[in-house]
Amino acid sequence: MTDKNDRAGVPASGARTRRSPSRQPLARSAERARADAIFLGRLRRHHDELRWLYMELYDNADMFGELVDQLRRFYDERPAALRALDERRERAGAWYRERGQLGMQMYIDNFAGTIAGVEGRLDYLERCGVTYVHLMPFLDTPADRSRSDGGYAVSDFRRVKPGLGTMEDLARLAERCHERGISLCMDFVMNHTSDEHEWARRARAGEGEYMSRYFFESRQDVIDRYTRDVPQVFPTTAPGHFTYLPELGQHVMTQFYPYQWDLNYRNPRVFNEMMYNFLFLANQGIDVMRLDAVPYIWKQLGTNCRNLPQVHTIVRMMRMISEVVCPGVVLLGEVVMAPVEVVPYFGTVEKPECHMLYNVTTMATTWSTVACRDTRLLRSQLEAVCALPRAYTFLNYLRCHDDIGWGLDYATLSGWGMEEVPHKRYLNDYFQGLVPGSTSRGELYNADPVTGDARFCATTASMCGVEAAALAGDGAAMDVALRKDVMLHAYLLAQSGLPIIYSGDELAQVNDYSYRDDPERADDSRYVHRGRFDWSLVGRADEPGSAQGRIFGALEELEGIRRDEAVFDADASVEIVDYSDPAILWIRRSAGGRTLEAVFNFSDDEKSLWMPGRARFTDLVSGDEGEFETFSLPAWDFRWYLRA
């Protein structure tokens, strides 16, 4: 005979059992009350400013009320594990600034085929010391790859591209990553949608509500004013600002590509819905949202439609929204512009905007320094970064998925006899290997035959000469190439901020020219450095003397030193030493009464260098200790000397 408690799904014996039904509702009630208090406390901190900014932009109390209601809904739907992670990160403060952070950027299909495949490769990422994984765009895009622009033409913000997996796969990957102390970054494409997005399809059908979410224009004089005032993003490959739709007899704004329709953030419905997409993705476990092309999102006739004040209002509101619902999530701003236009996206200490920004200018200047053997401009830019408040956090990298554009400080360079047009030509020739003595290999992107301007594409290893040395079978040249590669990574790790390595660079993977055989990719040379990850190279990482083993082992050692030494803390004092030899970059970091002299030789010659004074130093890489005042530094080499 079955006890009635068994039939109810409750064990039949024990006093504890009899109390459970009454205790469980009490526990749930207490947890509900705690959740209410947390949400309302966060909302209370931000409500007045959020409402003021929202009403300043939109003057629509009903839409603001809807937004607040939805913030509560997304908070309630946030998984318990993510809420707990939020609380830990709130207590820890700026967790993304910890010196043990190391990022890696990758395309899911190139690295492991699918999201589930990435989950299966987490052991390798842990072996690499990676704590931050940037998954390149994976949301649903048009089936025609030539119209997806690498994933930035989003057709559905809540659906993974079918060939890569599902949202459930993404949430599971995030959960597994969090178990290992790894955070996930994704691209949140704010400026536009694909022309296959539901909003675009309904707008194309003539539905006014959806047409108002984009910019439709039939007046040629207005189009002409935009053409006059607004710089073109891709004047060679995608000229113009509007695309004509014959079925409507109107033009739609498409600043990037004809199949990417610019969103109208003047419409509060657009802002609200995009924030709901943002929170939905955060609730899948995404830790870092890369705000793609954020300077472009507000359009205003009569301006250049770049970096307008309303953009900063929107980013500030996003920061507050995330701090209410998911405070463990970090905003990473993609602002590929001059430093004077980049820094404002940090906001202020009292009213912060982005948590992190890309250090784009330093990346481009680094490669110019390699080609010119002259660190003066690089020193100047690093000094400017060091002068900023230490809370300002940059994401540093040697190269990424995109091309390298030569947006350098030509006003300064011209004072040293380096004029813009011939300097750009020299850089492009140098990195293609067309300049005598250059060992770099790569390809131009978006070359303009009229202006002669172009951008450059290649892997780090190929730019350092690994590809050329391997093809020539030149062991001596390979030694120099690998030394240069390691030196540049040591320089990357010596900067303050979050260092990011592109997948494959840790194994000296070289350019992949097979993209030329793919009709859908052949006209986009960026795929030369977006090749499939070569898993056969992983086995060679354990081969003594192999290029893969030398690079992987060196990076592993350098990353370990960075994790262990307090001089690499984000809050360490950093200065750029004005050394007499322009080929020498000297970074000095101090913390806890200890000082690191990080010295880098950007030249083909061995250098004899002077320390600030005779003292006892420890070479952090070799472990050697000694008292000295001068030392020798081989070509393209570095030293990390610690002075107690």
Q: Looking at the annotation, which residues are catalytic?
A: 292, 334
Q: Which residues pair with 160 in a beta bridge?
A: 139
C-alpha torsion 79→82→84→88, nearest 10: -170
Gap between the Cα atoms of 97 and 86, Å rounded: 16
- Please report the beta strands in 481-624, taking only residues with DSSP state E, as ranges in sequence order: 498-502, 573-576, 584-591, 594-601, 607-619
Gap between the Cα atoms of 419 and 353, Å rounded: 36
CB count in 10 Å sphere of residue 295 = 23
Task: Give φ, ψ of 105 to 5 degrees.
Answer: -110, 140
**And the tokens for 205?**
């059908």
Confirm if 521 and 515 have CB atoms less than 8 A apart: yes
Inter-CA distances, 607 with 611, 621, 637, 638, Å: 13, 19, 10, 11
DSSP string, 468-517: HHHHHT-HHHHHHHHHHHHHHHHHHHHSSSEEEEETTGGGT----GGGGG
Confirm if 242 and 224 have CB atoms less than 8 A apart: no
| Residue type, position 40, single letter | L
DSSP 147: G
Task: Give φ, ψ of 442 to 5 degrees.
Answer: 175, -170
Of 163, 62, 70, 175, whose CA–CA distance to 113 is shortest? 163
| Residue type, position 28, single letter | R
CB count in 10 Å sphere of residue 373 = 15
State the DSSP H helix or E strand holding residue 144, giving kind and residue range, or none if neither. Answer: none
End-to-end Cα distance, the chain: 79
Gap between the Cα atoms of 626 and 223, Å rounded: 69
For 262, the 3-state DSSP assignment is: strand
